Amino acid sequence: RLIILDFGSQYTQLIARRIRELHVFCEIHPYTHAPNLVLSDDIRGVILSGSPCSVREEGAPNPDLSHLLGHVPVLGVCYGAQLLAQQGGGEVLPATIREYGRARLTSLDGGSALLTDMHTDSQVWMSHGDTIKVLPAGYDIIASTPEVDVAAFKIEGQETYGIQFHPEVTHSTEGKVLLHNFVVNICQCAQSWTPDHFVDSAVEALQHTIGPDDQVILGLSGGVDSSVAALLLHRAIGPRLHGIFVDNGLLRQDEFATVLKAYEGLGLNVTGVNAAPEFYAALAGISDPEGKRKAIGRTFIEVFDREAQKVQGARWLAQGTIYPDVIESVSVKGPAVTIKSHHNVGGLPEKMNLKIVEPLRMLFKDEVREVGAALELPAEILNRHPFPGPGLGIRILGDITPEKVDLLQRADGVFINLLKQHGLYEHVWQAGAMLLPVQSVGVMGDERTYERVVALRAVTSVDGMTADWAHLPYDFLAEVSNKIINQVRGINRVVYDISSKPPATIEWE
Ligand code: XMP
């Protein structure tokens, strides 16, 4: 495996994803782990990430790397390269102009193993405020750009390299070639990290960890992560996995029945719990979004706990936690190293004395999907849009009643089904309808109506952090609007949300 030491760059996760795309396993560790990194046969190389800091700043990350250099291949990227240069006695200074954007590698040592198969004039992505002015003795320049003399260097007699540009960003058009050169040719990492390989090793590990009589509980939501976790556990321990799928009355139209049937078709041992009345009772009269979220969360724990108590011999609570949730995020600008913790099903593990098992904790989202495909998860679950835990509860603005849920389920159902029929579902990241707390005037035949408004929302995004409104065709929007107004009595007006995130959010509450 390969270790990435994170100095706080926004691109660190991207480096990891690019390396995983080469089918090589890598892990991200905070730079503070560097001194404790004990080299074993199993660690084939180390990458030092970029950072928002400057090596010239007082208190900037400056871990001792001497036990690594010369003993294992090392690649410093941006800050990582500057750190190598500075620690070796070179000079790093503020760049005269901040170098940001595309650049061309005009001179390049084709004989260097790091740059094999890369072309002169190769486009690279620069993003740095400092630049390496003087390299220490024994450091050789292996690539330059018109603005940056030291675009890449190598330490003589070692497999230690530094690069000023970012190979992980797609604007570095041959970045993948460089990463392949480092990871596969120089570090000699095996390209064995494939979905099938992951499934085999994860199943084996689960069988080893979970005792032969232990029962495992898992909350299923119909989403990709929990479904893939269920299939892996099912393969490892069969019916000793007890899935619990709660209908909170805030799911999409027909979702509960369809998904439950899909789970049963996969041979999973799943209990469907119809708890809609309990959720509606807990939500009655609450209009504040956070109040609704709390009521939904609390009720979920009560229902889940009650069901989980029925499982004799339960020892484990499985969760669909994925890698971005567990990476220790370094805060290089502040003193603390914080660890993000995934939300547990509050209090249940302690109360029932359950241990936690998280079979997907080393996977990125796209890898979860690949593993799901390898496990033959049906496409309808595999390609599903993200859906918030509180469901339609935060898409009905104001208080929630079963009548409003029914109205929104039908309008949302029309929208989603038409997206699928027109082949647009895969092109948007998330879509849904919001029921607004206003009524407006309309005419139907000779009569005036005074009915509700539905807002349609569809966005394109990569990770939900930022999003653009989806530019759906007018004809399509017209068809959705007509169908909702004709078929869903109680709605006489449909609007389309054309705001992006930021400053708007994806959900309306
Ligand atoms: P926003 O509205 O913040 O949403 O742009 C970003 C993503 O998060 C989802 N979301 C939630 N998911 N519980 C969840 O499990 C919540 O309370 C919640 N609020 C928003 C939203 O659907 C989108 O994918």
Domains and CATH numbers, the chain: 2-186 (3.40.50.880), 195-382 (3.40.50.620), 401-496 (3.30.300.10)
Choice among 99, 168, 174, 278 that is catalytic: 168
| 58: amino acid identity, one letter | E
How far, rounded to the nearest angstrom, does the alpha carbon of residue 2 sit from its chain's CA centroid?
A: 20
Place of tokens 């790091």: 114
Q: What are 478's two structure tokens?
A: 């017209």
289 Cβ closer than 6 Å to some ligand 1 atom: no
290 Cβ closer than 6 Å to some ligand 1 atom: no
Rounded CA gap, 329 and 327, in Å?
6
| ipTM entry | 0.98
pLDDT for res 334: 54
3-state secondary structure at position 493: strand
pLDDT for res 345: 60
For 86, 208, 224, 247, 335, the CA distances from 415, given in Å and listed in that order, are: 58, 46, 21, 22, 48
Q: Describe the chain by its helix, strand, coil percentages, rounded to 5.
A: 35, 25, 40
Site to probe by mutation for ligand 1, drawn from 342, 459, 506 as the one with most ligand atoms within 8 Å of Cβ, is 506
pLDDT for res 339: 40
Cα(507) to centroid(ligand 1), Å: 6
Cα angle vertex 420, ends 414, 425, to 5°? 110
Ordered per-residue pLDDT tens for the chain, 509 residues: 999 999 999 899 999 999 999 999 999 999 999 998 888 878 999 999 999 999 999 999 999 999 999 999 999 999 999 999 999 999 999 987 767 889 999 888 878 999 999 999 999 999 888 999 999 999 999 999 998 999 999 999 999 999 999 999 989 999 999 999 999 999 999 999 999 999 999 999 999 999 999 999 999 999 999 999 999 999 999 999 999 999 999 999 999 999 999 999 999 999 999 999 999 999 999 999 999 999 999 999 999 999 999 999 999 999 999 988 888 767 676 544 444 344 456 667 777 789 999 999 999 988 999 999 999 999 989 999 999 999 999 999 999 999 999 999 999 999 999 999 999 999 999 999 999 999 999 998 888 999 999 999 999 998 788 899 999 999 999 999 999 999 999 999 999 999 999 999 999 99
Contact 393, 477 (CB under 8 A): no
Is residue 187 part of the annotated active site? The answer reads no
Cα(388) to centroid(ligand 1), Å: 5
Rounded CA gap, 425 and 431, in Å?
8
Nearest to 82 by CA among 66, 112, 101, 62: 62
pLDDT for res 110: 78
Q: What are 261's two structure tokens?
A: 């049937």
Max Cα separation, the chain? 90
Pairing verdict, β 2-6 and 467-469: unpaired
| Burial degree of 270 (CB within 10 A; 0-12, 13-18, 19+) | buried
β-partners of residue 316 are 216, 355
Is residue 403 part of the annotated active site? The answer reads no
Cα angle vertex 501, ends 499, 503, to 5°? 85
Rounded CA gap, 119 and 138, in Å?
25
